[in-house]
Amino acid sequence: MSPPVTAPSVTLVIVVAALIAVGVYLLLERSLTRVIIGLILTGNGVNLLLLVAGGAAGGPPIVGMTDPERMSDPLPQAMVLTAIVITLGVTAFLLAMAYRSWQLNGHDEVQDDLEDRRVARRAALDRAAYTDADVGTEPESLDEAAAEVHDETGDVGGRE
Amino acid sequence: MLLLLGLHLVAALAAPVMVRVAGRRAFWLLALVPGSALVWALAHAGSIAAGDIPTSHTEWVPHLGMAIDLRVDTLSWLMVVLVGGVGAAVMVYSSVYFKADATGLGRFAGTLTAFAGSMLGLVTTDNLLLLYVFWELTTVTSYLLIGHYADRKTSRRAAMQAIIVTTSGGLAMLVGIVLLGNAAGTYRISQIVASPPSGTAVVVAVGLLLVGAVTKSALVPFHFWLPAAMAAPTPVSAYLHAAAMVKAGVYLVARFAPAFADLAVWQVTVLSLGAGTLLVGGYRALRQYDLKLVLAFGTVSQLGLLVMLVGYGTREAALAGAAMLGAHAMFKSALFLSVGVVDAATGTRDLRRLNGVGRALPMTALAAGLATASMVGVPPFAGYVGKEAAIEALRHDASWSGRAVLAALVVGSVLTVAYGLRFWWGAFAAKRVLPGEDSAPGVGPVVGADAPVADVQHRPSVLLVGPALVLAALGLVTGLDPGLGEHLLSPYADQVPGEPGHLVLWAGVTGALFTVGILAGGALLFWQRSAVEAWQARRPWPLDVDLVYRRSMRRLDGLAADVTGATQRGSLPLYLGTVMVVMVLAVDWTLLRGTRLPGLADLRLWDSPVQAVAGALAVVAAILAARSRRRLKAVLLAGVSGFGVATLFLVHGAPDLGLTQVLVETITLVVFVLVLRRLPPYFSVRPLAASRWVRMVVGVAVGVTVAGMALVMPLARTAAPVSVDFPDEAYEFGGGKNVVNVTLVDIRAWDTMGEISVLLVAATGVASLIFLRRRGAELDRTGARAPAERAVWREDTDVMAPLRAKARARWEASVEAGGPARLHSDWLSGSSTLDPQRRSVIMEIATRLLFHTMVVVAVFLLFAGHNSPGGGFVAGLVVGIALAVRYLAGGRYELGDAAPVHPGLLLGSGLFLSAGVGLVALLFGQSVLESTILQFDLPVLGHVKLVTSLFFDIGVFGVVVGLVLDVLRSLGAEIDRHIEIESDDGGPDRPADEATGALR
């Protein structure tokens, strides 16, 4: 049913490449608004790529309207359809994040994670990145410590 | 057998409840659980010794070769007796040992029962993979029991150490198991032992198996976790760390000794580590002051002995090992239980502070005395019989390794006698001079002069002393009839080649000489105990493995921090860039190596000229969007690009996609505008000139790579597409002509289900980011609005006010002249809530005309979608746009009037409808989400063909409408409210003031 295997249309390939290139360029920005625009452009590019991978253009995949031999591949279309709607959901979510970031920090820029920086700095200085009370520093070995542990024993005995 | 395992599982789950209801008495009932295993084993003793081996087989994970195979041969039978018998004794003991209101008693009971069940499974399973599962279950339960007092640092650290050591061994063992299973072609232990495979892989596998055994049974150099595990409650020490769990390694060695004992890797590992552990443990036990630590190092020593004997590889040694295995479980658990009694009665386990306890606790002293006698090998106890058999077995081996092992056995036994005597003397004897007082300074932790000598304050109950006494007495009874032991245990030893061994009380003069010599040597060491302690104190242990372990763990932590510091730079662009670059390199490598680009002749410039126009529009708009410094402009241009892509979809033959894309772009624009009104109009100017080029290069590289993929992919097809039959299937089974829609709601309905769940999550995420604490409980309805409330979207400066005042004056004049009583018509009820200058009559009229039309169109698209472009997604988006129009024309009260329903309700019921319809199919014997086509005639509508997947599509519709409504309510209505709070309380656009402070 699907059209014979043919090379894709050069126009589509160029559009896909250009959309993704611009999208990635924007994705690597710090302003969340531009990141979102980058995400949308990349998403459009990838959706087109899926269609291209499915084969050449054809008639709408509707039985009775198009001869099955001439139909475009319906499977990538189903995938892309949900992808488009999910992009909407993700966009809304990221925009809500941008708004929240503006509320808290007065801008919508993605800052570097301070905690990561702190870990890196402490690692460079060879200092412990965190403190763990259970990491023993005392010279006493664990079996000596175990000798000090007593059970909550019953009414047969008690501490003096 | 499977029933017994199930019983343990049920009891473990029920134990916390039982303890809550019945208190400590619940342990009596729980004692019946391991007790039943013991009874089962005793009932089958005769038949198993006669060679009638009970087996059972239950399939579990067939494609992994994993089945619940249970098989109880002699070795397993011995272990079941130990696990069940000692388990029951320890349960009874626990019922009086702990305080009635001790912390976490229910958890303790549950974990202990779970351990008993895991151990039972470990020793009865005949499947290697299942053995590993039970093996790790015992590790985990042991971890929980060592860390029982989770509020104490020592307990936590000891538990952590034990689990790290034993699971790393266990992981090595798992690799060994897989290698062995592959080499043998089966995971059945009995089959592997019956016809052992050979080859390099098997040698490696056996080595790895032994790593597991060595860590589990605390052999040198991993012995250090066992003394530290004494932080566990004493019943746990008696059960897990003396009788049962630490025997798992011994069991593994004993299990595979008939098959692999002749391998060099086996001989070297088992004999050297076994002998080394025997000596190290005995030596270290001689200078411990804590009674449990004396026993712990003693256990380490005895485990070395056991591994050495059962792994030695001769029939005689195997029999001696099995006998010692049983004897050790009896005497060592009895000794631990006696220590618990002393500890409970006096409040200390320090042998420097105990004096004359034996007089006050005669029965405890008797039990400990009997057990000690068995341990040091006094005739006619079981320990003596086992040791005598071991000496006989080794004495006949003239090889140098045999001689070395015999020497280790003798020296180790001398040490055992010495620490055994020291233990009993330390715990129960009346001392003239307390130890530690007369020794050189620096010998161990010296007890302060003011520390009082502990004395017995309470008489222990029968239930506390009884278990220890019974176990110790059994050591005497079984020793008195060695022939019975030989009859029961020799079927195991017969698997190993060699002369048959015997269990006897009198093994000839030579054996007796050995015994006398060992006892005398031990007594001498005990007599000179002060000198021995001082001698040991002067020679500090050359290599503290515990310290090595702790240092290497710290190094590991440091390494982890370094790696984290080096890789986690905390910069999102850096992470994304790394992902992109890796993607480019990996894909390019594949593209350049194994694919073929289409020739120039194959290429088509375009499918139709429209494609070129639309494509150019999409690309140019995208580039301009990237160059724009103004937010709104960038967003609008991105939208234009999206419309270009929609056109490409249409040209490609995908009307559903084109339709969806157009609708989504529209809603996206609205959503963007709603948020952008709060953000600064221009992107901040950042000094990013240098990194801009880097980003550009990465972007172009990704674009070129993707172009390569796009060129190669259509030609790389090797199989017919799965969708080749979709049109037929869609019509025949899905009952629809629109293949894409049927794919969504029927053929690939599971995918759609996952995708609408994502939408639900995204919508909930948006709402939770904006509403922060709780989603507004009441909806904004015009009817519910207080008339005095301020206008929505108020502007402080109103340039049109004079004009409106003029119009109002004209209207008042006309009313006086008898004109119409209304100032103007309200096209939308919500628009009266708006600030007058924000109202647009044209927009209101258009909305009034359009809204219902759009909803009707949406309903049409929803129902027609099965046969022509449309469907739940498209219909939901159309309704979403209709709602957005209502909101934009009339504000949030208008939105509340338009959709008086909580978005959460729409999302939830939508997903429920989709999933529920899928499940209904189950009721009619179909698979989940399978469609049914119903055809019937209705009077007015004519012939109706109803496909049940329509309800799925209605569910999708609900989720999409819910998403858009949630977005409008959050990013629209709720942000409106934020703005109002802000402008009421202070100036706008100042997020740092108190008004927004309340929103954080």
State whether A123 and B566 contact (CB < 8 Å).
Answer: yes
Pairwise CA distance, residues B382 & B330, whole Å: 9
| Helix residue ranges per DSSP H, B98-127 | 105-124
Q: In residues, how long is chain A? A: 160
Q: What backbone torsions phi and psi does residue B933 show, to the nearest 5 degrees? A: -105, 120
The structure tokens listed for B157 are 């650290």
Residue type, B868: S
Cα of A143 to nearest chain B Cα, Å: 4
Point out the residue among B605, B645, B726 whose CB comes nearest to the CB of A48: B645
d(CA A13, CA A45): 10
pLDDT at res. B994 = 39
B486 vs B928: which has the higher pLDDT: B486
pLDDT score of B440 more than 60: no
Q: Which of B165, B359, B196 is CA-nearest to residue B266?
A: B196
Within B494-571, where are the H helices? Answer: 509-527, 529-538, 545-567
- How far apart, in whole angstroms, are the C-alpha atoms of residue A142 and residue B466? 32
**Non-local CB neighbours of B805 within 8 Å, separated by 6+ positions:** none
Average pLDDT over residues B246-267: 94
CB pairs under 8 A between A and B: 501
Both tokens of residue B296?
């712990």
Q: Choosing among A6, A22, A140, which should be mutated to test the B contact, i.e. which has the most B CBs within 10 A?
A: A22
Q: Where does the pLDDT of residue B64 fall: very low under 50, low under 70, confident under 90, or very high at 90 and above? A: confident
- Note whether A61 contacts B758, CB cutoff 8 Å: no
Is B911 near chain A, with CB under 8 Å? no
Domain boundary among the residues B519, B544, B569 is at: B544
* B216 falls within a domain: no
Q: Calculate the dihedral angle through the C-alpha atoms of B669, B674, B677, B680, rounding to the nearest 10 degrees.
A: -70
Interface contact flag, A24 B580, Cβ < 8 Å: yes
Return the structure tokens found at B80: 């079941």
B130 pLDDT band, cuts 50/70/90, is very high
How far does the CA of residue A66 sit from the closest CA of chain B (Å)?
10
Average pLDDT, chain B: 87
**What domain range is B764 assigned to?**
743-786+840-997
Residue B154 near chain A (CB below 8 Å):
yes
In chain A, count H helices and then E strands.
5, 0
- As a whole number, mean pLDDT of residues B852-876 equals 92
pLDDT digits (tens, 9 = 90+) for B760-780: 999 999 999 988 766 655 677
Nearest to B780 by CA among B960, B977, B996: B977
Residue B657 has its nearest CB partner, among A77, A96, A110, at: A77
Which region, left, alpha or beta, applies to residue B792 given φ > 0 means left and ψ of -120 to 50 means alpha?
beta
Q: How far is CA A20 from the centre of its chain?
A: 17
Residues of chain A with Cβ-Cβ distance to B769 below 8 Å are 93, 96-97, 99-100
Does the pLDDT value for residue B445 go beyond 60?
no
d(CA B101, CA A85): 58
In angstroms, the separation between the Cα of residue A109 and the nearest Cα of chain B is 9
Neighboring chain A residues of B653 at a CB cutoff of 8 Å: 57-61, 66, 71-72
Highest-pLDDT range among A117-131, B38-52, B424-438: B38-52
A147 secondary structure, DSSP code: T
* Residue B242, domain member (yes or no): no
B98 touches chain A (CB under 8 A): yes
Residue B220 forms part of a structural domain:
no
At residue B332, the 3 state secondary structure works out as: helix
Examine the pLDDT at B118 and tell me if it is beyond 60.
yes
A71–chain B nearest CA distance, Å: 8
Does residue B981 fall inside a structural domain?
Answer: yes
* Shortest Cα–Cα distance, A32 to chain B (Å): 10
Q: Is the CB of A87 less than 8 angstroms away from the CB of B664?
A: yes
Domain annotation covers residue B37:
no
Are β-strands B66-71 and B55-61 bridged in parallel, bridged antiparallel, or unpaired?
antiparallel
Cα–Cα distance measured from residue B181 to residue B959, given in angstroms and rounded to the nearest whole number: 50
Alpha carbon A51 to chain centroid, angstroms? 23
For B586-601, what is each residue's pLDDT tens digit? 999 988 887 777 777 7
Tokens of B658: 């084109």
Q: Does B556 touch chain A (CB under 8 A)?
A: no
Which one-letter amino acid corresponds to residue B500?
Answer: P
**Using the beta-carbon criterion (under 8 Å), do A155 and B103 form an inter-chain contact?**
no
pLDDT classification of A129: cutoffs 50, 70, 90: low
Selected residues 678-707 of chain B with any CB under 8 Å from a CB in chain A = 678-680, 683-684, 686, 695-696, 698-700, 702-704, 706-707
Q: Which residue in B422, B421, B424, B417 sits closest to B517, CA to CA?
A: B417
Mutation site, A77, A130, A135, interface B, largest B CB count within 10 A: A77
pLDDT of residue B778: 67
pLDDT in tens, B676-719: 988 888 887 665 667 888 999 999 999 999 999 888 888 777 78
User: Tokens 């529009």 correspond to what residue?
Assistant: B617
How many distinct structural domains can be found in chain B?
Answer: 2
Of residues B941 and B409, more confidence is placed in B409
B103 vs A1, A51, A152: nearest CB: A152
- Using N-to-C axis directions, what is the helix angle for B128-146 and B153-184, rounded to 10°? 180
- As a whole number of angstroms, the distance between CA B946 and CA B966 comes to 31
Considering only the beta carbons, identify the residue of B350, B683, B737 that sits closest to A63.
Answer: B737
pLDDT at B646: 96
CB B953 within 8 A of CB B742: no
Four-CA torsion B641, B643, B648, B654, nearest 10 degrees: 140
In this predicted structure, the answer to whether residue B914 has a pLDDT above a threshold of 90 is no
Whether the per-residue pLDDT at A157 is higher than 70: the answer is: no
Q: Is A61 in Cβ contact with B714 (below 8 Å)?
A: no
Q: How far is B169 from chain A (nearest CA, A)?
A: 20
* C-alpha distance from A123 to closest chain B C-alpha (Å): 5
Residues 395-454 in B contacting A (C-alpha not used; CB under 8 Å): 445, 452, 454
On whether the CB atoms of residues B97 and B463 are closer than 8 A, the answer is: no
Sign for the pseudo-dihedral over CA of B775, B780, B786, B790? positive
Which pLDDT belongs to residue B608?
86
Residue B385: closest CA among B485, B258, B529: B485
* pLDDT recorded at residue B776: 59
Residue B253 phi, psi (nearest 5): -65, -45
What's the pLDDT at B124?
A: 95
Which residues partner with A66 through β-bridges? A63
In Å, how far are A1, A62, A72, B644, B663 from A59, measured between CA atoms?
11, 8, 6, 19, 22
Inter-CA distances, B969 with B669, B775, B900, B911, Å: 16, 10, 11, 20
Are residues B679 and A98, on separate chains, in Cβ contact within 8 Å?
yes
Question: What residues of B are in contact with residue A73 (Cβ under 8 Å)?
Answer: 721, 723
Q: Could you say which DSSP state residue B356 is in?
A: S
Q: Mean pLDDT over residues B382-396, rounded?
A: 92
Q: Which of B544, B578, B605 is at the close of a domain?
A: B544
Q: Do B97 and A156 touch (CB under 8 A)?
A: yes
For residue B923, the number of C-alpha atoms closer than 13 Å in the C-beta half-sphere is 6
Beta bridge partners of B938: B942
The answer to whether A25 and A38 have CB atoms below 8 angstroms apart is yes
- From residue B276, alpha-carbon distances to B212, B220, B409, B568 in Å are 17, 7, 10, 45
Angle of the B509-527 helix axis to the B382-395 helix axis, nearest 10? 120
Query: Rounded to an integer, what distance in angstroms lies between the CA atom of residue A144 and that of residue B870?
Result: 75
Residue B18 within a domain: no
> Six-digit token pair at B239?
């059960």
What chain A residue is nearest to B763 in terms of C-alpha separation? A89
Q: In this complex, which of A37, A84, A156 lies closest to B634 when CB atoms are compared?
A: A37
Contact yes or no for B929/B749 (Cβ under 8 A): yes
Phi, psi for B992 (deg, rounded to 5): -85, -5
Domains of chain A as residue ranges with CATH: 10-115 (1.10.287.3510)
Q: Out of B544, B579, B610, pick the residue that ends a domain.
A: B544
Flag whether B106 is in a domain: no
Give the ipTM. 0.83
Return left, alpha or beta for B504; rule: phi > 0 is left, psi -120 to 50 is alpha, else beta: beta
Predicted local confidence at residue A135, as pLDDT: 62
Residue B238 lies in a domain: no
Residue whose token pair is 């039978």: B77
CB atoms within 10 A of CB B140: 16
pLDDT in tens, A65-105: 888 888 888 889 999 999 999 999 999 999 999 999 888 88
- The one-letter code for the residue type at B288 is Q
Shortest Cα distance from A121 to chain B (angstroms)?
7
Q: Is B577 on the interface with A (CB under 8 A)?
A: yes
B933-938 and B55-61 beta bridge pairing: unpaired
Nearest CA in chain B to A107: B679
Q: What residues have CB less than 8 Å from B150, skipping those under 6 apart?
A: B104, B156
CA B938 – CA B950 distance, rounded (Å): 18
Distance CA B839, CA A87 (A): 32
* Residue B448 pLDDT: 47
Q: How far is CA B245 from the centre of its chain?
A: 23
With b for 16 or more beta-carbon neighbours within 10 A and e for fewer, the B349-360 pattern comes to: bbbbbbbebbeb
- Identify the pLDDT of residue A144: 78
- For residue B543, pLDDT beyond 80: no
Q: Report helix angle B273-285 to B400-428, nearest 10.
A: 20
Q: State residue B449's pLDDT score.
A: 43
Alpha carbon distance B904, B965 (integer Å)? 9
Identify the residue among B572, B750, B949, B982 best suited for mutation to test binding to A, counting A beta carbons within 10 A and taking the highest: B572
Unique residue bearing structure tokens 């001790």:
B102
Residue to mutate among B353, B553, B567, B657, with most A CBs inside 10 A, is B657
What is the rounded CA–CA span in Å between residue B10 and residue A155? Answer: 30
- The crossing angle, in degrees rounded to 10, of helices B315-346 and B247-260 is 180
**Distant-in-sequence, close-in-space partners of B407: CB < 8 Å, separation ≥ 6:** none
Which of B655, B672, B963 lies nearest to residue A95, judging by beta carbons? B672
